[in-house]
Amino acid sequence: MALEEFTLTVLGAGVMGTAVSSAILNSLVKPYPKKVILCTPQPTDTLKETFAKFDNVEYSFTAEGNKKAVKEADIILLAVKPFMYQQVYDEVKDALTGDQLLISLLAGTTINELSIFTKNVAKVMTNTPARYGCGTAAIAFSPDVSQEQQELVKKLIEPVGLTVCIPEKNMDIATSLIGSGPAFCLLMMESMIDGAVRMGMPYDVARVSAAKVMEGTAKMLLETGDHPAALKSKVCTPGGTTIGGLLKMEDGALRSTIARGIEEAANISASFAKK
């Protein structure tokens, strides 16, 4: 496979498949795909609008079209629902060469299960902010993926935002923390907005303020490298508003509830592979 000219076939151009494809194409990453084929059951105007400015994007909406797209592919981005991977394999198996590189975005499926497509498997867990270039992605590789292929995967995934390489045994945790994490943050953000609105702040002001507080706090944590508890203590003045609010939240076991939520989501992800 010539790194300068490869075809990327996306099996499942849904939310995550679209998010990662958009991040790759908008970044002008090098090497850049000569062609991207988006496979999806239903052609939508939204999908075509998202990729309208890219001349190297094609679409497939039929089973036969998908087989042709897979046969052309140097790299396959698998982004269907986890329970569908066997069905998708059965539909395209005759078009697989065995040497293609598979990048899987599926939760709860193992590298061993995905190796029916090819021995070259990169398992990636990312999240919806990837579409805006501010996502997070964890990557685990099968033993057969060469160093050159690993570097290519990293280059393709880096446009989503932060990337980290982890052993496959940590992927269920990544599914929870990274994949489900935005929903957990949005729940906390929604609660902060509700509190502000309850006390009289206009919703639009509360919404952007809460979002900016989350963004700024995250950047502060990354920039300083300090433990969250250390940064939190710097905000608490004796007898002040912050410590009062924190204690009220602790009354509701907020910290352990969030931690248990991460644990539960990771356990559910692990259970998928056992079915």
Gap between the Cα atoms of 65 and 92, Å rounded? 10
Handedness of CA 10, 117, 178, 273 (dihedral sign): positive
| Residue 11 in marked binding region | yes
| Residue 12 in marked binding region | yes
| Residue 56 in marked binding region | no
**Residue whose structure tokens are 């992800």:** 269
With beta carbons less than 8 A apart as the criterion, state whether 59 and 38 touch. Answer: yes
| Residue 267 in marked binding region | no
| Residue 14 in marked binding region | yes
Give the CA dihedral 158, 164, 170, 174, nearest 10 degrees: -60
- The values of phi and psi at residue 249, to 5°, are -65, -40
Of 45, 131, 114, 43, nearest to 77 by C-alpha is 114
| Residue 15 in marked binding region | yes
**Residue whose structure tokens are 């998928």:** 272
| Residue 274 in marked binding region | no
Q: Exposed (0-12), middle (13-18) or buried (19+): which is 54, by Cβ within 10 Å?
A: middle
With beta carbons less than 8 A apart as the criterion, state whether 23 and 131 touch. Answer: yes
Calculate ∠ Cα 102-130-157, nearest 5°. 35
| Residue 20 in marked binding region | no
Calculate ∠ Cα 83-158-223, nearest 5°. 115
182 token code pair: 């935005």
| Residue 199 in marked binding region | no
| Residue 79 in marked binding region | yes
Which residues line the annotated binding site for NADP(+)?
Answer: 11-16, 40, 79-82
Point out the annotated binding site for NADPH.
66
Annotated binding-site residues read 11-16, 40, 66, 79-82
